Amino acid sequence: MRKTSDESFILKGISSYLNKRVWEIPENVNFYVQELRSQKKENLPKSIGEASIGKQPTDGSVDYRYNRRKVKGAKYHLVFEDYKNGKIKSNGIVNLKDGTSLFWYLWEGERPNISAMALGKGYIAALYDNELYDVKTHHSTFRSFGISSNKVRENLTIIAKPPVLNKNFGVYPDTARNALKIMGSKRAGEPLPWAEWGEEFSNNLPNEIIEALKKSINSTSGTIEDSKWRQKLSERFSRRWNQKIFKISDDGKDNISKTQTLNLFKPSDDDPNSSTKTKKNTALNVPKAKNTNSGSFDSGKNKANPSNAPRGIPDYRWVREEDVEEGTAAAWLKPSAQEPNGTVLLNSNFQVFEEVVKYWQDKYPDHFEEKVQSTIQDVYGQAMVARIAHSESLTRDKNWGRKRVDEELRSTSSLTMAILGLITEDHIIANKLGALLSKRQVI
């Protein structure tokens, strides 16, 4: 049982563990846990009889009775049909190509205060034989599933149910039943493929989750308004920042449907370190564009050939610290159905950013505060987009490859390091503010 100063958690530890591990309790089963009322030695019952006294003492003496708590399972506390101030607004299933089903549940309203005895907010976990494994609540895991908003993350639960074993893929628990492992493939014995599952889920985000993400994004927009700067960036990096599409052709070797499809999510065949080079890619259906004759891979009877096309320059968005890891400057949200260009999330509460903003605001009259802040955010946003776009050139380098670039160069730690230094950004900020606001006030 976990050591903690919270006595209520310690006393409810067994119930809490079972409610977080067991998915569902059958209707014809009553499952109870007997819990002590105190962890102090002098207040513990000396016998089962003393703990089983039916009535509370009326003479002021110690109440040695145990509490009898019913275990209801994780699904009960997730759905919580009896709760009046909130509910599951929508839910559904996303079926993956390896046979795994992702069951998602999106909550609306106030969350019940059940963290002492069950999982109280959103999480991602794997379901096997009515038990939950690999329960995850971290920002980075949700980002890999296309979820960047803290509010949506707290209200969204995703339960992955992989096949026990099909022709090519299945899972099994390790000896200690602490984790699930892959079986029946070249990756036998490896941990669950959360990165691949997240990528495919973000490729096929349900509309209800997309709408929830749109509503939650109320911070500074990530569009780059400086058209000259954006054009310059595009000219430098657009050839490196590309995507694969499939164009209809009589001599095509692949089959597609006639809806436009962009393959934004899998490493290209040029990626030297890709472990999926020989596998068929998953495609994303998007609204049909004008003058574009392309389609979704392996999803129809139309012949087509693959072709590379320029991908949009990444976006950036300023967010609160709750949307990224605490103490980090930025995070990279990979391309998804919701944000197809990929987005750099910049932490407006990061200490260095706050110091830079204050430094420059102090040099201008108070009524310029908002303009100074927005200018600084533009400079850092554009700089981080440039770094992400430039790093794309290393995805085809034999010493790097896309996986290593994503995991190392685009990690939150690397992006935090990338914003330090100040010299280049300070020079740009000084020139922009000087042009916009004229002279600084005398300090």
Q: Which ranges in the chain are annotated with CATH 3.30.230?
A: 74-216
Q: What is the pTM of this model?
A: 0.69
Highest-scoring range by mean pLDDT, 191-205, 273-287, 309-323: 191-205
Of 268, 228, 224, the C-alpha closest to 244 is: 268
Highest-scoring range by mean pLDDT, 44-48, 57-61, 66-70, 158-162: 158-162
- Identify the DSSP state of 355: H
Highest-scoring range by mean pLDDT, 46-50, 119-123, 394-398: 119-123
Q: Is the pLDDT of residue 319 over 80?
A: yes
Report the distance separating Cα 410 and Cα 418, nearest Å.
10
Say how many CA atoms lie within 13 Å of 201 toward its Cβ: 27
Q: Is 340 exposed, middle or buried (0-12, 13-18, 19+ CB in 10 A)?
A: middle
How much is the pLDDT for 377? 93
Residue 12 CB neighbour total at 10 angstroms: 19
**What is the per-residue pLDDT across 133-188, written as a single tens digit (0 to 9) for each?**
999 999 999 999 999 889 999 999 999 999 987 667 899 999 888 899 998 778 88
Q: Is residue 408 helix, strand or coil?
A: helix
Least confident of 36-45, 362-371, 395-404: 36-45
Q: Is the pLDDT of residue 123 over 70?
A: yes
Average pLDDT over the chain, rounded to an integer: 80
Percent of the chain with pLDDT over 70: 75
How much is the pLDDT for 227? 56
How much is the pLDDT for 422? 75
Of 158, 216, 221, 220, the C-alpha closest to 192 is: 158
Apex 103 CA angle, 133 and 194, nearest 5: 50
- The one-letter amino acid at 402: R
With contact defined as beta carbons under 8 Å apart, do 78 and 104 qualify? Answer: no
> What mean pLDDT comes out for the span 106-123?
91
Please name the helix (run of DSSP H) or strand (run of DSSP E) that holds residue 51, with its range, or none: helix 48-51
Strand intervals (E) in 57-100: 67-70, 86-95
N- to C-terminal Cα separation, the chain? 58
Q: Is the pLDDT of residue 11 over 90?
A: no
Say how many CA atoms lie within 13 Å of 281 toward its Cβ: 26
How much is the pLDDT for 215? 85
CATH of domain 74-216: 3.30.230
